[in-house]
Structure 1
């Protein structure tokens, strides 16, 4: 977190970072200036650091929307998260490729040192116009990332610079810069009376393992919900009632299905018919009496092994017909 001077401090520190790392490849005096590209290109070796756009960081834009309570009390110090976009241009004698040599040095430096060092921030803050900057104390570091612009984007960018000829340049983004608000949140009130109870199982007032209340006169701790009523089987009465209600609901659904013509099988099952009767009804076979007559009236083997028809007891000449032979 830092104050409003952080934006200008980053620009000045970036210029110092480029200036301090020109050697040993560049063996000439180079002027590093924090301004927009000049309309009259200089002939001396020059590097311009121009901040052309300031945008809100997309990932941190809504991180501190709720900063006040319902009564207006400040809960969190608001902070604006910014991304800085820099246009770095190089000028010099074109026959000696000075501009290209300077751009190569800039790219090498920012690729080797992508995070802005603290000592350079402190050196930049010693400028009279940056007195009071606290960017060096911010825990958030500023990182430089190269941006790739196509021909159209480059043309639009240089088109904004009126009457400024194009020069060899690179574009970098610096993020993240956090700007704090002036107001400080009200500190939270300290804890006046801690109320924390730690009781081992089995102690008076402690619940039994598994949530079953102890039988030795143990009472639940203050503020705890009462234990559910239990039955002799060890299950809560509410669970018993829920099970019974579910079974009754299933039975009612079965009877309703049978009554609405859901099939003879469901009707007989709901009516409680014995299995034998259900099998007889399903197969459509003879009754018990007919099965008995069939069994008694079936063929019988005589002593010769031949099978003959059995005579009914009421036939004439049968030993049991009541007549004498």
Structure 2
């Protein structure tokens, strides 16, 4: 923060910065002046520092919109944020390229030292016309940035300078310069009488958990006696905390027992259905095997007893051979297919009363 002399102080400090850093490249006397380019170019080496435009900084323009209260009281000191635009021109003997040598020195200096040093600001403030400047005390530093201008913008800039011939020059922008208001805000009054009350939730006058006051929690009159709710007593007829916990625990146990019983009943029904299905499938398999073994065993028994019809096949050898072949096939089929019935016993180990035994009297 600084006062209204900050703009002129920056211009004078910039001229001192260029003047102090001309050597060792420039070994001649150079005059650095803070004025606009002259209408008649001077023959001696000269550098002009001309502030041609002052603009408000766009990023800090609305930083302090609210500076006063509704009654006009100053809340904080207003500050104007400014950007300064400088045109730096060089003059000298053209045959010796003095102007170009001076411009090179200016660009090198501002690129090497882009921030305005505090000691140069203090030196500039020693001028009689800058007495009272407090720019050196400001926390905000001034930085120089080159501005790129094409031929069109350069011709417009030099066209504003009436009857001034063009000279080799560069343009730099200095930001940020803050200008404080001269009025100081009135400090806030200190707290004279603290008034702090601490009430538990549910007490008359205490805010509810949702932040709503009123109703039963309305503020009681001063000196009101504490009630049962304020003292923390339990309302009459309300169950105690221990009773509520026991009821919740019992409810949870019953629910868990009901779920367990339902799960057990479901598993028992599923297991019973699976057992019945397996038993039915096993019975069907045993019946099929027993029937096949019964047919083969009966035919083999008839042949062993000498049944005349078992070996006759039309009174010919071929018929007898066919009968014997069929008997062997039947006997082998019975041994293979009916070797084990549903009881797990082979045909040779069957009892006489088992189905399919040669002595059970079954006819094929």
* Whole-Å separation in 1 of the counterparts to 2:224 and 2:308: 52
Distance 1:219 1:99, change over 3 A: same
TM-score, normalising length: structure 2: 0.55
Shift of 1:167: 0.5
Distance 1:70 1:16, change over 3 A: same
Comparing 306-315 and 86-95, the one that deviates more: 306-315
Shift of 1:192: 3.6
Distance 1:16 1:297, change over 3 A: farther
* Structure 1 outlier segments of 4+, above 3 Å: 191-227, 229-278, 280-325
Distance 1:210 1:304, change over 3 A: same
Comparing 235-244 and 117-126, the one that deviates more: 235-244
Distance 1:9 1:243, change over 3 A: farther
Comparing 298-307 and 121-130, the one that deviates more: 298-307
* Whole-Å separation in 2 of the counterparts to 1:184 and 1:281: 146
Distance 1:193 1:43, change over 3 A: same
Q: Do the aligned partners of 2:293 and 2:334 also contact (CA within 8 Å) in 1?
A: no
Comparing 13-22 and 245-254, the one that deviates more: 245-254
Distance 1:324 1:165, change over 3 A: closer
Shift of 1:201: 14
Q: Do the aligned partners of 2:207 and 2:217 also contact (CA within 8 Å) in 1?
A: no
Distance 1:215 1:108, change over 3 A: same
CA RMSD of aligned residues (A): 20.0
Shift of 1:311: 40
Unaligned runs of 5+ in 1: none
Shift of 1:117: 0.5
* Whole-Å separation in 2 of the counterparts to 1:245 and 1:98: 119
Distance 1:187 1:292, change over 3 A: farther
Aligned length in residues:
323
Distance 1:165 1:183, change over 3 A: same
* Whole-Å separation in 2 of the counterparts to 1:272 and 1:74: 139
Shift of 1:323: 38
Distance 1:219 1:241, change over 3 A: farther
